[in-house]
Structures are given as structure tokens and as C-alpha cells.
Amino acid sequence: MVYILLGTGFEEVEALAPCDILRRGGVDVALVGVNGPEITGSHGITVRADLTVDRLDRDALEMIVLPGGLGGVNSMLASPETLEAVSQAWSDGKYVAAICAAPTILAKLGISDGKRCVCYPGMEGQMGGATMVSASTVEDGKLLTGRGPGAALDFGLLLLEKLLLRPVLQKLPAPIQWLYTMVLVLIGWVFFASANFAAAWAYLTVLFTPVAGTAHIWLPGWLPLGLIGAVAATPLGAKLWGRWKSVNAPEAAAAVLCALALVLSTASLVSGSYNPFIYFNF
């Protein structure tokens, strides 16, 4: 269950846009009233909450979302039950998401200390020990933050991705995950071999055709480099999907090797001045 907290004066688009996206994605979402069952936002829109904060089921909580709006932020700060629910969600290893001015609540609770965050421009001085990033949305482990109203859709899509898309692969049995990784590697191999389909086809023919004798074929000289790069870049690709988180030097080097292999193979086809073939006997 995702709980979106609404305090009087909350920023409507930052609460309702993510709620809409999550519900369209099939995620269970409840709007939680901090100041009662009916909450009026910063632009005069009154929303009837699904429940009040005192009825929030912390055992069912998967993610807690804090919209911005100065009034809504002040309402949440004035609610001990709200602050306790946010703190417990974080200590229990649940997702904690905040957008616009709401990340300052996390700073006051010490949740954002040492974490990469974004908040409404001009409020960075209230973020304590957080590492501020210039981005629409930022993900650091279980902490998700958004810049402001203009980032509401990106923020909602990030929440949906964390709850619905990535866990699909993570819940698969280990052999299926391994097969998925191998498929990615195969795609990478085909990509780097594509500069010479004839050589790739001949190679596969030799491998999979049970013909006695010796076959003589030509293989691209850059193919081993591309294959190594494709295998090494598989975890890199997963991390790039996670918005450049924790990319280390070896993985970055693998990406460079992949790029080099692609450049060399493309140049050999376009100019004809580089001979990328190595002779193999089978």
C-alpha cells in the first residue's frame, strides 16, 4: 500500500498526479488526511481523503509519499503521528518519497543526511547534511525526491517504476533472472557483430551445423572486444537504467571498450580503409 499524506495547503498536482499514475499502474494507493478527512490544497481544491493519519496501517505500508506546498509541509511538521509514521517507514526499510518543499521534513528527521536529494529551488539551505543534486527526480536507495510541481509526472513515474516494474524481475526465480541476463548479453553480442552479418552468420553456422571436416571463415577482429564489452556492460546497463547510480571504474571502462568496438567497426564499413577481419580455422 502507498500512502500519500495530505496536509492543509498541500500542492495539489504533486499529490494527485502521482496518485493518478500509480492507480493507473494498478498500485494500491490511499490518500491520508493529516488534518481530517477533507483537506484543502494550496489552490483551493478540497480533496476527501481515503483515511486519516491515525488510521494508517503501518504494517501494510510499502511507500509513504510527502507532497509539497508550504502549508502542507507545516501541517505535517505539526503532526506527531505523521512524523512518527515517516520515521518508522524509513527505519523499516520502506520507500520514503518527498517532492518540492517536503524533503525538508526528511532533513529535520535526519533521513536525508548523507543522501542524494533534490528539493524546491531555493530551499537547499534547509536540507541539512543531504547532498543536493540538480535533477527533476533523484533516487538514492529507498529515498526518492522530486524538485517541484513541474516534476510531478516524472516523480509519479519514478514511484511506479520502483513499485511495479523493477520488482517484476527481482521476484523471478534465480534461473529466470540468469536467462534474462543472458538474453541481454546475446543482444549486445548481435549489436556488436552487426557490422558484418556474413561473418556472424558463418560463425553461427560452424557452431550449430554438425558437418565433419574443417571450415574456413573470416571473423571481425573487433568481435572479441565487442563481446567482452557487451558482457561487461550488462550490469552497467542496469545501473544506467537506475540513473547512473554506483557506476564504478571497471564498468565505465567496459562502456568505453564497447564504444571503441562500435566506432572501429563502423569506420571499417564506411571508409573501407580499416580491415577488421582475422582469419580462423575450424
User: What long-range pairs does 207-213 form, CB within 8 A, spacing at least 24?
Assistant: none
Helix (H) or strand (E) holding 103: helix 103-109
Q: Measure the CA–CA gap between 53 and 258, rounded to whole angstroms.
A: 52
Task: Find the catalytic residue in 19, 100, 119, 258.
Answer: 100
H runs (alpha helix) in 25-94: 70-77, 80-91
- Residue linked to cell 549489436: 191
Determine contact, residues 22/2, Cβ cutoff 8 Å: yes
3-class secondary structure, 32: strand
Q: Known catalytic residue: 100?
A: yes
N-term to C-term CA, the chain: 59
Contacts of residue 107, Cβ cutoff 8 Å, sequence gap at least 6: 113, 126, 127, 128, 129, 130
- Residue linked to cell 544506467: 240
Dihedral pair phi/psi, residue 139, rounded to 5°: -120, 125
Dihedral pair phi/psi, residue 157, rounded to 5°: -65, -35
Q: Measure the CA–CA gap between 51 and 250, rounded to whole angstroms.
A: 49
Q: Which residues are catalytic?
A: 100
